């Protein structure tokens, strides 16, 4: 299998790459990562296409008589006859994704439909509720959560010097939460995308990693952020009003009104043992019936048709 990431900067999708490759390899598949497709493999891409990148994918598929699978990363649902991005209508504005960006991504996605074998979600998110009604003919398949092997990711000579670390795109709501937290805690913050090594080093320099919603109405804990922290031997504190998704039991969740309360202070006081507990629970979940079954049938049929 080839994970073809030609239209993405690697630092922007590194956690999705790690999740996907770990899950595939742990289930017996060979997978490579490249900015080029392979005519001798089945090819998987990560959604977020422009008209130009979509046309390149379509040309490859036509020339090689192949189809691709797409990893979906955004919360796109079809509810009450309306397509919604992140729970909001296409024309609703926020400082995370503009209406024009939403429309551009959808248009480019729709132009590729005839070349799509299936859609993948990593873990249980995004839900993609009623997604098959807007893109019929290509099923949504779940890639199960992989086992995580934590390791020391601090820079040489660095120690734990901060209470909380946050790496992520800045929004007005996130900035307000960070300002509130900075009054009583030592924060290490990057408000833009950073490399995987830099992110790991920042996470390792703090006792806990923060998961902050993009806006007040955001309802999903970032699976990738929690797993990235876990790889660095850190637990995650998610501050917001979140849905109870699969990743929620493996971090601590705190209501915004309690962001500077005792619960966060208690977690900071026992950050090492907290990580051990959440990682242990996560590994038990990965091996349990609660984790999704790997879609072997889909991949095996696809391989027989193309290889």
- What ranges do the domains of the chain cover? 2-144+292-306, 162-286
Predicted local distance difference test score (pLDDT) of residue 117: 97
Q: Which residue has the higher pLDDT, 116 or 137?
A: 116
Q: What are the residues facing 142 on neighbouring strands?
A: 121
Q: What is each CA distance from 104 to 90, 101, 118, in whole angstroms?
A: 11, 5, 21
Which two structure tokens, joined as six digits, stand for 283? 């590994």
The DSSP bridge pattern shows strands 76-79 and 140-143 to be unpaired
- What digits encode the pLDDT tens for the residues 150-188? 998 888 778 899 999 999 889 999 999 999 999 999 999
- Interior/surface letters 265-288, b for 16+ CB within 10 angstroms, e for the rest: eebbeebeebbeebbeebbebbee
pLDDT over threshold 90, residue 286 = yes
Count of other CB atoms within 10 angstroms of residue 176: 13
- What digits encode the pLDDT tens for the residues 53-109? 999 999 999 999 999 999 999 999 999 999 999 999 988 887 878 999 999 999 999
Q: Where are the alpha helices (DSSP H) in the chain?
A: 10-26, 51-64, 99-111, 172-182, 196-204, 223-231, 262-269, 271-286, 296-306
pLDDT over threshold 90, residue 219 = yes
- In CATH, the number for domain 162-286 is 3.40.50.2000
């Amino acid at each position: 299998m080839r994970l073809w990431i030609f239209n993405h900067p690697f630092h922007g999708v590194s956690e999705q790459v790690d999740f996907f490759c770990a899950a595939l390899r742990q289930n017996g598949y060979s997978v490579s990562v490249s900015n080029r497709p392979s005519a001798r493999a089945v090819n998987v891409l990560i959604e977020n296409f422009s008209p130009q990148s979509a046309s390149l994918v379509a040309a490859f598929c036509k020339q090689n008589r192949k189809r691709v699978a797409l990893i979906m990363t955004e919360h796109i649902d079809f509810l009450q006859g309306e397509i919604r991005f992140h729970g909001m209508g296409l024309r609703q504005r926020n400082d995370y994704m503009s209406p024009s960006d939403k429309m551009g991504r959808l248009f480019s996605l729709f132009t590729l439909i005839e070349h799509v074998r299936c859609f993948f979600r990593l873990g249980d998110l995004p839900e993609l509720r009623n997604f098959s009604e807007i893109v019929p003919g290509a099923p949504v398949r779940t890639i199960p959560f992989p086992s995580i092997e934590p390791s020391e990711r601090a820079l040489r000579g660095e120690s734990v010097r901060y209470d909380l670390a946050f790496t992520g795109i800045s929004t007005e709501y996130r900035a307000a939460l960070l300002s509130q937290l900075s009054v009583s805690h030592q924060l290490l913050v990057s408000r833009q995308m950073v490399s995987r090594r830099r992110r790991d080093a920042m996470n390792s320099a703090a006792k806990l990693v923060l998961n902050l919603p993009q806006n007040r109405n955001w309802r999903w804990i970032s699976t990738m952020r929690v797993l990235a922290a876990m790889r660095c031997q850190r637990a995650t504190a998610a501050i917001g009003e979140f849905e109870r998704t699969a990743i929620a039991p493996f971090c601590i969740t705190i209501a915004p009104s309690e962001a500077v309360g005792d619960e966060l202070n208690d977690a900071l006081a026992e950050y090492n043992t907290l990580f051990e507990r959440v990682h242990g629970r996560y590994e038990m979940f990965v091996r349990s019936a609660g984790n999704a079954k790997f879609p072997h049938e889909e991949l095996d049929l696809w391989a027989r048709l193309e290889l």
